[in-house]
Chains A and B, each alone.
Chain A
Amino acid sequence: MANRVAIVGSGQTHHRTRRLDVNGVELIYEATQRALEDTGLTMKDIDGVIIGNMDHFEGINYVDCWSIDGSGGWGKPTLKLTTGGTTGSTLAIAGYHMVASGLFDRLLVIGWEKNSESDTTAAITTAFDPVWDRSVFAGAISGLAVEASVYMHTYGATERDAARVTVRDRRHACLNPFAHLRKEVTLEEVLSSPPLADPLKLLDMCPRTDGACAVIFASEGVAERICPRPAWILGTANRHLYTYLGDADYVGLKSLRHASRELYEKVGIREPLKEIDVMELYLPYSFAGLSWIEELGLCPPGEGPRLLWDGVTDLGGELPINPSGGVISCNPIGATGLIRCAEAALQVMGKAGERQVPDVHVALSSGFGGCWWSDLVMVGSTKPA
């Protein structure tokens, strides 16, 4: 069976539209240094490094080697991992696996992206089959627009319902010094923003961001000596359900539904709305905040809007979602999923500053790959049995 693993600290850059003052290696170094400072460790204490971004955004395909000067991986086992939007969350899952194996005691996990260096939609489009899907598909925005139109058709949800998600995440971001966009928006501003692909408008979507995040995972026995309140990994899950886009089922994000069922069963969660204290979800666009919380079992299908309008998912509500401001406020793609995990860990550790939710024992973070694959990582204050 697996050994127990905890997150003992993290660091992230102050995420921005363009970090022209640093190249990618220097950006990675910033996050790495901050994680080491957070934990009081030095690079000598680190046994190994895993690092990832979405290769195509920067067009550099051997980040494990190329990033060595910034990652600290010189002379250590250093592996690369790249899975599109889920890169950051898959990095967290892999970090957990590697330390749980017993082969590593202190592992540095780094996710990063300089989205400013290329055309995001063009790069994302290359994730899809070149013969069957790419000529028609228009990156993540088109896929998400398709999902949104099916959700509206199936349940009668409105663009206004979706806009409430953007309003929430953008308001929460004002409390997060690292978030990219730190200015509230109103429902009307979302609804009147420029159209992208029906029914999505500019403010329904996440931004493109330059940023990096580093998280340190440690094994049982070692973690407790590094910090007083580690965030223990309670469980993880990952799902892919198709090769070709036409095979995906557009009524609900099935990969997230399957992954959450597996995770809840592993961890022993029966009523996620009651038993989970905070969620950091990879919601790349507004409608996801309605539909995907249904897939996570927080409410029956079609009732997501009710949770939004009742304030259940706001800070101060029964289950705050994205106190960090989430992806709609900040999206350095290769880092984004790892930032969700780092933020969930900060909540458990009581280190989330102004965005801290009181009394957090169990926190869930998710990753999303556009389109349609999902990761989950659950962390808690109590070491698992």
Chain B
Amino acid sequence: MTQTSEPERLVMHSGDAQQPFRYAVGRYGSRFFMALRDEKRLLGIRCPRCRKVYVPPRQVCGPCFERMEELVEVASTGTLVAYTILRFSFLDPETGKQKPVPYGYGFIQLDGSDNAFQHFIEIRDEARIHIGARMRAVFRDTRRGTLGDIRHFEVLA
């Protein structure tokens, strides 16, 4: 291919088409979301071998590769074990829009569980947020059976 000048460098936009999905949550996830939606209760599950309690409940304990059946209620309070405050905006694949920032996001080890639960954290007063802070879930009045039924976790007074 011969050319006498620099070729135009064309870029083609894919358009704004969505690609929707409908994910099956499964039996264990469904139990969690129904308890959250209907009773504002948080459920975990205990591994019969290692005795760890996981939130959210799931079918198998990964490290043991053992089926789990024993649902356990955990508290809606816990300890903040890790977090960050997002300050850069990015395209949210869930909404197709830029994510509003700043927002706080962290891992809360709910009282009674052995792993951490990931959710938004309320950041009105950033100085009160630190690893080790005691947190509590803030539930929405209208709940649909999604993680959004918890608005965020806030630092306990």
Contact = CB atoms under 8 A, between A and B. Distances in A.
The answer to whether A and B interact is yes
24 contacts: A59-B14, A119-B91, A121-B90, A122-B92, A130-B23, A131-B25, A131-B29, A131-B147, A132-B147, A134-B93, A136-B119, A136-B147, A137-B118, A148-B84, A149-B131, A153-B131, A195-B87, A197-B87, A244-B58, A244-B115, A245-B107, A246-B115, A247-B54, A250-B107
A57 to B, nearest CB: 12
Contacts of A241: 62-63
* Chain B contact surface mostly: loop
Contact of A122 (B88, B91, B107, B130): B91
Nearest to B147: A135
B94 interface: yes
B107 A246 contact: yes
B87 A150 contact: no
A155 interface: no
Given A149-B131, A153-B131, A250-B82, A21 B91 contact: no
Nearest to B107: A246
Ranked nearest first, the 9 interchain pairs of A and B with the lowest CB-CB distance are A145-B84, A20-B9, A121-B90, A246-B116, A122-B91, A119-B91, A122-B93, A196-B88, A250-B82
Contacts of A195: 87-88
B147 A146 contact: no
B117 interface: yes
Interface of A: 20-21, 59, 119, 121-123, 125-126, 130-139, 141-142, 145-150, 153, 194-200, 241-247, 250
A134 B105 CA distance: 12
Contacts of B148: 135
Contacts of B118: 132-133, 136-137, 244-246
A147 B83 CA distance: 8
Given A138-B99, A138-B105, A197 B115 contact: no
Given A146-B84, A148-B84, A250-B107, 4 more contacts: A131-B25, A136-B120, A137-B105, A197-B88
Interface in B11-45: 11, 14, 21, 23, 25, 29
B56 A138 contact: no
B81 interface: yes
A137 B92 CA distance: 10
Nearest to B131: A153
Contacts of B130: 153
A71 to B, nearest CB: 21
Nearest to B60: A243
Contacts of A139: 90
Contacts, number: 109
Given A146-B106, A244-B58, A198 B115 contact: no
B83 A130 contact: no
B71 interface: no
Interface in B107-157: 107, 115-120, 130-131, 147-148
Contacts of A147: 82
A148 to B, nearest CB: 8
Given A142-B105, A197-B87, A125 B14 contact: no
B49 to A, nearest CB: 16
Given A136-B119, A247-B62, A149 B82 contact: yes
Nearest to A139: B90
A243 B54 CA distance: 12
Most buried by B among A121, A134, A241: A121
Contact of B94 (A135, A244, A247): A135
Interface string B85-104: 11110111110000100000
Most buried by A among B81, B82, B86: B82
B74 interface: no
Contacts of B116: 246-247
A225 B71 CA distance: 62
Contacts of A196: 86-88
B62 A242 contact: yes
A198 B84 contact: yes
Contacts of A247: 54, 62, 115-116
Contacts of A20: 9, 11
A247 B64 CA distance: 14
Contacts of A250: 81-82, 107
A317 to B, nearest CB: 31
A254 to B, nearest CB: 11
B107 to A, nearest CB: 6
A138 B106 CA distance: 11
